[in-house]
Structure 1
Amino acid sequence: MSLPNLLSLARALAMLCLTLFASACNSLPTIVPDMVPSKGEPVQLDGTHGPLSAERSKAILDRLSAGGDETNIFDLHLAVEEAIVGSPLSAGNKVELLQDGPNTYKAMLAAITAATDHINMETFILEDDEIGQRFAAELIVKQQEGVQVNLMYDSVGTLGTPKAFFKELADGGVDLLEFNPVNPVTAKAGWEVNQRDHRKLLIVDGRIAFLGGVNISSVYSGGSLSQSSKVRPGGELPWRDTHLQVEGPVVAELQQLFIDTWIQQKGEPLIPRNYLPLLEPKGNEVVRAIGSSPEEPYSLIYATLISALRSAQSEIWLTNAYFVPDPQLLTTLKEAVARGVDVRLVLPSSTDSWLVFHASRSNFSELLEAGVKLYERRGALLHVKTAVIDGVWSTVGSTNLDWRSFLHNYEVNAVVLGNDFGEQMRAAFKADQANSSEITLEQWRRRSILMRAKELIAQLWEYWL
């Protein structure tokens, strides 16, 4: 079959599937303004003093330079970040970068073991496997010691987890809340099956917090950074992921996010504890905690990222598991290259989602032609969601660069401003890039007809992925 005929057939099949899928839903979600494909001017983001456009960013830079002192890149990103409406920037924080499951779980379990007042945990996936059982056992022990444990888990993310697993936790005294149950009969806050809690958040005693991309699952039992720890039982690829451990004033923002979501989901009133203790400075990092939800007029995480990308002066290095960008994000990356910014993306070479993988690749031609450098991570299943811009603006969290994260999911990210943490992020990016294969434009143009057809089919589903 010729290429035109094959592509035509693929498009027809995809449209048929999409029509059948849509007809099964009551209504299609409303696309919020910042994600609407625009043929005219790009959507402007609201800042404290008006639209935060490229011109607005320049005005902020001019204001900072008015005193005669040379403005550095940190000042620029600090000013841009301050102009975004939302949670406050918080100084005096200590941030530790955690890579892969073993290191992350070790730190999380140590904090849980040391808890004296309460443990608040929010997760998308919580599996009944070796890792899940370790966490469940420790949470039950702490509850029985008098530490209040509140656990919120997503209904879709835990579809495969037996009810007996959660019954054991409940019998142990742990307070449970199923986020947006799949079964509408058990939903307390209205039934929105397409809205999911994709956050991974742990707060211990209101003083230490963990967030990022790591779920509670044995898929993370192997590391991805050393040859000796790569292979998991059964020979599956290890999962490559990134998490943060945070101490300092910003923990109060993460705690409030958990509490607000618990209340919004109409959970039982939280047992009184010292959830918001007075927090002293613990380090030198400037951090903003950002939560987003579909109820908001636009995704604050998306707005913050676009603003940082538009303000980039030298580097934009993104690592992301599910890269299905909207038109504005694509345009922003291409414009950055046009003004001389080094734009690099590390993406998966294998994935747990066929549609996402090929929908992501459907953007490769446009990106490569614009000069964006693309790399696919080998030897691991990439689940990272991070960015480092100009070596001073970094973010780690649960948010993928796709329509689902920006439109349908509850997500949480931390933005960290500073050279020291930025250098750690750059080093992590370089390590992933060293373990990746570069995709060149010449090579990409030689891909097979079958690959092109898969991209076309997947692209038609990108809004739902």
Structure 2
Amino acid sequence: MLLVSASIGLYGCSSLPAVVPDLAVRHTPVQLEGAKGTLSVTQSKAVLAKLAASGQGSDILQRHLALEEAIAGSPLTTGNDVKLLQDGPATYQAMYAAIESAQDHINMETYILEDDEVGQRFAEALMAKQRAGVQVNLIYDSVGTLGTPAEFFQKLADSGIALLEFNPVNPLTAGKDWSINQRDHRKLLIVDGRTAFLGGINISSVYSGGSFSKRAHSAQSDGLAWRDTDIQVTGPVVAELQKMFLQGWEKQKGAAAVARNYFPKPQAAGNYVVRAIAAAPDEAYSQIYGTLISAINNAETSVQITNAYFAPDPQLLEALQAAAKRGVKVTLILPSKTDSWLIFHAGRGFYTALLQAGVKIYERHGVILHAKTALIDGVWVTIGSTNLDWRSFLHNYELNAVVLGAGFASQVQAMFDKDLAKSDEITLEKWQNRALDLRFKEGFARIWSYWL
């Protein structure tokens, strides 16, 4: 870790902020946003009381609400419906259906958009809606689409779709604010300002296989299926996601978005309380990072994390260790196979310290784990694009949603248990007896943790 710190100092880079403990101390009543605007304190208390009554005690829920309110800059909204989507097939099917139903506009943001079977199907669906008079606006990351031919995007542009290449790799087309290290890692699809999808899934055929089948293989005959998680949301929170998309479009200085009804009158769609949280490297600190650290620091019973790329900074590492030491059951499900050699071994370099603190570590077998989820105290869930590494917290534009209440949390718990059943536990004794070559790889990879 000293080498990592030295490299940070050498290059004069920014560091992750300390989350001030006082942020958890807040006595102002939590107020919710609904379809008709801000709820009164009394109305908000009634919603939260009903939410708490469905599962865990109200004191745990209120504590998490209070600390979130102190950190996140986006409103806590009620009246939402949230659908949990596991793996590519289910997620893509729901996305296709939403695209097909579009009447006014489609806003899409993705890191990877490949020119393969899945990418082409999305392209055809989007072009068909554009030809039908539905305005399609697409943001794609320049690095994430390096392997996608220019002809693919030209075809989309020719159909009338508005395209925005995020931070172009070519400095001649990027302008004076060129920053190749800042990437758009968000995954977001919004249809008519009423339905939104977000999570970890890119647009690629590697996600075309289900990860829970007996033989979980992707479209590539010799490849493993990719295990990922998304959510589909409807209700007032979609307007917050829409703001985040349009702000990103404006920040990248794209052509003015074609006028459409981007903010239809909000309608209640369900009973879930949701907060959308975006993070960007040019902000004072990552609200996603701050919210997660505070949730872990204030956890009372359990912390259950599933994450694809795990290379924690010192504060996150300390938060996980401290939670386990004070009696919180901390369980991590991490990959056993990966598409990133360096980040995989960098993360494994922290296993000993975590295991010694009492953290339970499992590695998911039979798939490429790409999900990014956390479940805390049976009431607090976050799902999104954010990995637990320096890149996500410092260099990437990321997007997560926090869903509160035991109802949705129980679904995530069932998903976590299902993954746990297909994972191998890493015990301290087993880990201390690992091969010398693995130790060397871990040490080498940790040098580069900040940059991965």
Q: Same fold (TM over 0.5)?
A: yes
**Structure 2 residue 396 is matched with structure 1 residue 421:** no
> Can you give the 5+ residue segments of structure 2 that lack an aligned partner in the other structure?
31-44, 46-52
* 2:159 is the counterpart of 1:160: no
Q: Are the structure 2 counterparts of residues 334 and 229 from structure 1 closer, same or farther at C-alpha, using a change threshold of 3 Å?
A: closer
CA distance in 2, matches of 1:431, 1:226: 12
| Secondary structure at the counterpart of residue 152 of structure 1 | strand
Change (3 A) 1:223 1:30: same
1:30 deviation in Å? 2.6
Partner SS for 2:11: coil
Q: Which residue of 1 aligns with 2:248?
A: 261
Could you tell me how far apart the structure 2 residues matched to 1:404 and 1:82 are?
A: 25
Alignment of 1:30-49 (within 5 A): 30-34=13-17, 43-45=18-20
Q: Which residue of 1 aligns with 2:304?
A: 317
Residues 1:139 and 2:110 are matched in the alignment: no
CA distance in 1, matches of 2:220, 2:343: 26
What is the rounded CA distance, in whole Å, between the counterparts of 2:153 and 2:449 in structure 1? 33
Residues 54-110 of structure 1 deviation map (CA, whole Å, 9 limit, x = unaligned): xx279999xx9xxxx984322222222222240011111100000000000000010
Whether the aligned pair in 2 keeps the contact of 1:188 and 1:266 (CA below 8 Å) is no
From 170, 174, 185, the equivalent of 2:172 is 185
Choose 232-241 or 397-406, whichever is displaced more: 232-241
Q: Which residues in structure 2 correspond to 1:422-461 (within 5 Å)?
A: 422-461=409-448
SS state at 1:52 partner: helix
- TM-score normalized by the length of structure 1: 0.88
Q: Is the 8 A contact 2:332 2:361 kept in 1?
A: yes
User: Where does residue 6 of structure 1 map in the other structure?
Assistant: none
Tell me, yes or no, if the aligned pair for 1:378 and 1:437 is still in contact at 8 Å: yes
Compute the TM-score of the two structures, normalised by the length of structure 2.
0.90
Aligned to 2:197: 210
* Superposition map of 1:16-415 within 5 A: 28=11, 30-34=13-17, 43-45=18-20, 51-53=22-24, 56=25, 71-188=58-175, 190-227=177-214, 230=217, 232-415=219-402
Report the Cα distance in structure 1 between the residues aligned to 2:298 and 2:205, rounded to whole angstroms.
Answer: 39
Taking structure 1 as reference, are residues 350 and 424 closer, same or farther at Cα in structure 2, changes over 3 Å only? same
2:37 aligns with none
Give the partner amino acid of 2:85: L
Instruction: State the number of aligned residues.
Output: 427
* Cα distance in 1 for residues equivalent to 2:428 and 2:187: 36
**What's the CA shift for 1:321?**
0.3
Q: Note the alpha carbon deviations across 1:114-160, whole angstroms, 9 max, x for none.
A: 00000000000000000000000010000000000000000000000
| SS of aligned partner of 1:127 | coil
Q: Distance in 2 between matches of 1:328 and 1:464?
A: 17
| Worse overlay, 442-451 or 228-237 | 228-237
Deviation of 1:232 after TM superposition, in Å, equals 3.9
* Equivalent AA in structure 1 for residue 14 of structure 2: I
One-letter amino acid of the structure 2 residue matched with residue 400 of structure 1: N
1:225 deviates by 1.4
Supply the distance in 2 between the matched residues of 1:233 and 1:349 (Cα, whole angstroms): 19
Task: State how far apart, in whole Å, the 1-side matches of 2:248 and 2:290 are.
Answer: 21
Bigger drift between 247-256 and 73-82 goes to 73-82
Taking the aligned partners of 1:378 and 1:58, their CA distance within structure 2 comes to 45
CA distance in 2 between partners of 1:386 and 1:96 (Å): 14
Structure-1 separation of matches of 2:215 and 2:350: 35
* Separation in 1, partners of 2:12, 2:367: 34
Provide the C-alpha distance between the structure 2 equivalents of 1:348 and 1:176, rounded to a whole number of angstroms.
34
For the residues of structure 1 that align with 2:403 and 2:293, how far apart are their CA atoms? Answer: 16
Q: Is the 8 A contact 1:376 1:437 kept in 2?
A: yes
Which one-letter code corresponds to 1:82 in the other structure? E
Distance in 2, matches of 1:389 and 1:203, equals 28
Aligned-partner Cα distance in 1 for 2:365–2:16: 36
The 3 A distance-change label for structure 1 pair 368 and 167 is same
The residue identity in structure 2 corresponding to 1:138 is A
Percent of counterpart pairs with the same letter? Answer: 59
Structure 1 residue 308, shift from structure 2 partner: 0.6
Find the residue that maps to 2:179 and give its secondary structure.
coil
In 2, Cα distance between equivalents of 1:188 and 1:272? 26
In structure 2, distance between residues paired with 1:383 and 1:455: 20
Q: Distance in 1 between matches of 2:377 and 2:330?
A: 10
- Whichever residue aligns with residue 307 of structure 2, its letter is N
1:265-285 CA-to-partner distances (Å, cap 9, x unmatched) read 000000000001111111111
Deviations 1:328-360 (A, max 9, x none): 001111111111100000000010011000000
Q: Which amino acid aligns with 1:137?
A: E
Gaps in structure 1 of 5+ consecutive residues: 1-10, 35-42
Cα distance in 1, alignment partners of residues 430 and 281 from structure 2: 39
Equivalent-residue separation in structure 1 for 2:144 and 2:422 (angstroms): 29
Secondary structure of the residue that 1:72 maps to in structure 2?
Answer: helix
Give yes or no for contact 1:310–1:332 (8 Å, CA) kept in 2. Answer: yes
- 8 Å contact kept, 2:207–2:218: no
Q: How far has the Cα of 1:228 moved from its partner?
A: 5.5
List per-residue Cα deviations over 1:142-184 (Å, max 9, x = no partner).
Answer: 0000000000000000000000000110111111000000001
* Corresponding residue SS for 2:223: coil
Decide whether the 8 Å contact of 2:19 with 2:293 is kept in 1: no
